[in-house]
Chain A
């Protein structure tokens, strides 16, 4: 070799020294990644080796890949940042699928790095091979398979851009092992705009004007705000509050939107939908102008579509144009970021010369007050010390005692009755404090999500309000809590049933409780102890406050097993196929479910 080619060879060696795995981590650092939730395996060993040799990025080892995704979701939802997941090929990737779809349905920004067999083995049914991009195509916002080293850095940056812009969502980057080992060229972030994906964020001023004119001129206005407001950042929630107070408008939040508008504010009507408050649903049904911001007319919200808010002029602000006119035809579509829409609406409100119809508005508030007086979330708790604890009361006491503690409190849930009781009775005054699986309804979400929240907020109070059935779906994550000393509190409303299944069986299937009894439950106190946590139990009302206080005082993970009324149902309820004004308020009129049609019975 002559001198010239030798020198050229050395230069090439210097610039290409970094392996794919090292370039990957450098790109993650560029993207501001501080934490990865993951689980190692053969195909991702090069990444774990690179992680071992650095200290900027922290890795949280979960006990199951599904939990890694939920933990990243909890991290993302409580911080507004992109959550990052790292799993191996084959079973690592397939285990992550439920979490990915959960994040897709709830619009949570994630980047999930999956290992893959080396490119030359793809398609050969190699050990731990799965067609990850094929399997996750419908479970992600977008996915990539990196086939060439020169595409690695740009693909990673693209993945973060796609995950966080527009309607956020999960993005998979599938990384063959040879790409991780071979040298790869580094590229900084944001060097050029994305070729095809450039979502609209700024609303059309003409649409804003029409919307404000309608809303300001309304006799019976209603604001219906969803998770899009949370996703748009805390400033969007502040702007929502400003607009609502500006017009003295009634405001409801979806399950995903809880915290977007302060629950303690008098203009808040509570959550709407299947288990929403009477006043929120009746106001949705009776309003003459409906302003939906960042929600998607989900079937849990609308009830029977043909009877949904029948007399209203509908305004729909959404970042995703495909949400508009999907379930409900609207009069004024506004495509844009929720914060940008709200800011423009406030400006237009001030500029609109016509005054509000204050007489009509006062009458509307009187109607709402009458609906409120029904006290649809009411329940009867026997106050004697040996009384059975009502689950609603347990959540109320938890809320009150958390509030007394003055600590910044984050709540996650599993899925089922306890989730609805938490949504109804734990009140959120700030965004990003409520983590629940809304769209997909994933049992087992709450514990890993809480772990992710606690990683992001080490000093905060993080509580998973759980059911005894759901908690067992990802109970292995107790190990993660122990390893990282995450002081998550698990508050189990234990009614020994898959409560929501039991409720539907009672109301719709002649009380035939097919397979919904939680038989052979573990002793949750001993289970906690075996995972190096504290176990507490409240058997009756007299023990409830003491257990909650003890739980909050312990500086470490706790499972509080709260034995609650086994027969309690979650009310109010819009039965399947019914309209907002056909709510069942409590057991006394549950007989109405007998009139549910076959069509209603078919609905989930």
Chain B
């Protein structure tokens, strides 16, 4: 087998499912039962009458494992469609994070300057804290959090990514 087939890659997989009870447990159970990684997971109803939900999973594995993940997801009864966005073409993946910084003095004003540079919004403030809201790629949010770490980073809440293919194609 070639090295390319053996090497790990990250995959962003979108799954369109029937919005029935237990469907998320089925997807998660498949990942845990078969030993696949979940790096990020989001789920929400995506049509008007709330009959269908979209699940976005970021996972990693060899090409063969990712192929398996797609096939295993696709054979779940309530699954309509599965797409590996990272393979099928260009796509957009975005995550939102709420980040709390506690402290005062120079660190406090420095955190505000960094937030400004990242175009993060201040959604809550007290004399001793900020809560920033930031939307962007996983890497951008990681970088922002790293910069705030020495400046009183106290708590992080992240949504996991929502992803969609670029261009006219749909799932």
Contacts and interface: CB of A to CB of B under 8 A. Distances in A.
Contacts of A145: 21-22
Interface in A162-182: 162, 166-167
A137 interface: yes
Given A137-B22, A138-B29, A196 B80 contact: yes
B6 to A, nearest CB: 11
A120 interface: no
Given A137-B29, A195-B18, A321-B75, 6 more contacts: A134-B22, A142-B76, A162-B77, A197-B78, A324-B71, A325-B67
A162 B1 CA distance: 36
A133 B80 CA distance: 21
B22 A321 contact: no
A329 interface: yes
B47 to A, nearest CB: 13
9 contacts: A134-B22, A142-B77, A143-B22, A197-B77, A322-B72, A322-B74, A324-B71, A325-B64, A326-B71
B33 interface: yes
Nearest to B79: A196
Contacts of B67: 325
Interface in A310-337: 320-322, 324-326, 329
Interface residues of B, number: 22
B37 interface: no
A141 interface: yes
Contacts, number: 49
B25 interface: yes
Contacts of A142: 76-78
Contacts of B79: 196
Contacts of A321: 71, 74-75
B75 A329 contact: no
B1 A196 contact: no
Nearest to B78: A196
A409 to B, nearest CB: 35
A366 B67 CA distance: 40
Contacts of B17: 196
Contacts of A197: 77-78
Contacts of A320: 75
A329 B29 contact: no
B72 A196 contact: no
Contacts of A167: 75
Contacts of B18: 195-196
B68 A325 contact: yes
A38 B96 CA distance: 52
Contacts of B68: 322, 325-326
A167 B76 CA distance: 11
A322 B75 contact: yes
Interface in B73-125: 74-80
A133 B64 contact: no
Contacts of A162: 77
Interface string B43-75: 000000000000000000000100110011011
Nearest to A319: B75
Given A138-B29, A322-B68, A326-B68, A133 B22 contact: yes
B158 interface: no
A256 to B, nearest CB: 19
Contacts of A199: 75
A134 B21 contact: no
Contacts of B25: 134, 137
Contacts of A141: 77
B38 to A, nearest CB: 16
Nearest to A141: B77
B77 to A, nearest CB: 4
A524 B159 CA distance: 63
Contacts of A166: 75
A196 B51 CA distance: 12
B22 A322 contact: no
B105 to A, nearest CB: 51
A196 B64 contact: no
A321 B71 CA distance: 6
A145 B21 CA distance: 9
B59 to A, nearest CB: 15
A473 to B, nearest CB: 26
- The 3 A-B residue pairs whose C-beta atoms are closest, nearest first, are A322-B71, A142-B77, A197-B77
